[in-house]
Amino acid sequence: MNEEFANWLTPEGSDDQRCGFVAIVGRPNMGKSTLMNYMLGQKISITSKKPQTTRHQILGIKTEGDLQIVFVDTPGLHKEQDKALNRYMNKAASEALRGVDLVLFMVDRTAWTEEDDIVLGKVQHAPCPVILVVNKVDQLEDKNSLLPQIAHVSEKMKFADIIPISAKNGTNVDQLENLINQYMPQSAHHYPEDQITDKSSRFMVAEIVREKLMRNVGDEVPYGATVEIEEFINDGRLLTISALVLVEREGQKKIIIGEKGERMKTIGRDARKDIEALFETKVMLNLWVKVRRGWSDDERALKSLGYQHGE
């Protein structure tokens, strides 16, 4: 091969660079987003104590020198439900296992459920190493109770490594990152070193608003709600955003607005603070709530709201 042509095919510096994709999977509420945010050193994926907070595949990109790691945060794999939104989330999580270099399978410190079996059934067929990550060990009163759980899960498949962590306070996360680094292949970087996610600014804002919604209302309402950004204007001094919170029933709308609009004000205030921190500018955030019946079980509506799988 002509040397000049070979140099053109191989990006400059790629001989020394390493880059790989790491899928973070598990059942709902296992701390997947919390772990990715901790490793990135900043908030990319929204979090809450409610299961199924994450609805999309979200890339978090960490570049340090010659090493770039692309984390793929996923919705929690759960038992199949009738709604199109649930089918979308399960498909998004399953697709994350394709074409990655490493899988982090997150489980609870003591409990194993039917939904863990669903995830296990997926990762057993992953064409790459799988690290078992046992999360929330900071909540264990008796550390010795962890050993039977690890032994039990270890019998289910052969893992490349097993490591107990706390994604919330960072226990053992440095050791986990050292393990991850070892599995990253030699490759040119896929993203610029200053890029931290593949998602747009509009997407990030919609997710922040949805996070505050999930944290400020009861258990049922957030699963019938989504956020659509209608206006996003940055004039260099002020970022003006208009967002529409879509719900499926009139009763959900009343709950979100709250008495005399107080809950809506709290959601807006909390979201604005995070948006200002993200974009480092003053923000004017306008929120409205609208009923759109059946949106979560309507394939066409989901696509129009950004719930689309990659090709």
Nearest to 198 by CA among 61, 305, 46: 61
Same domain, 40 and 168: yes
pLDDT band of 3, cuts 50, 70, 90: very low
Task: Provide the edge-to-edge strand list for the sheet that holds 161-164.
Answer: 58-64, 67-73, 18-26, 102-108, 130-135, 161-164
Question: The domain that contains 294 carries what CATH number?
Answer: 3.30.300.20
Q: Which residues span the domain enclosing 260?
A: 201-304
pLDDT digits (tens, 9 = 90+) for 134-164: 998 888 877 777 888 888 888 999 999 999 9
Distance, CA of 58 to CA of 55 (rounded, Å):
9
Question: The domain that contains 161 carries what CATH number?
Answer: 3.40.50.300
Same domain, 291 and 211: yes
Same domain, 94 and 225: no
For 10, 155, 261, the CA distances from 176, given in Å and listed in that order, are 31, 21, 45
Same domain, 174 and 247: no
pTM comes to: 0.84
Average pLDDT over residues 193-201: 92
Residue 310 lies in a domain: no
pLDDT for res 306: 79
Same domain, 48 and 100: yes
Domain boundary pick from 135, 150, 182 = 182
Residue 30 lies in a domain: yes
Same domain, 10 and 156: yes
User: Cβ atoms within 10 A of the Cβ of 80, count?
Assistant: 9
Cβ contact 136:108 at 8 Å: yes
For the ranges 18-22, 38-42, 242-246, 298-302, the lowest mean pLDDT is seen at 298-302
Over 60: is that where the pLDDT of 11 sits? no
Residue 311 lies in a domain: no
Residue 194 lies in a domain: no
Domain boundary pick from 182, 212, 227 = 182
* 58-64 vs 67-73, strand pairing mode: antiparallel
Same domain, 125 and 206: no
Domains of the chain: total? 2
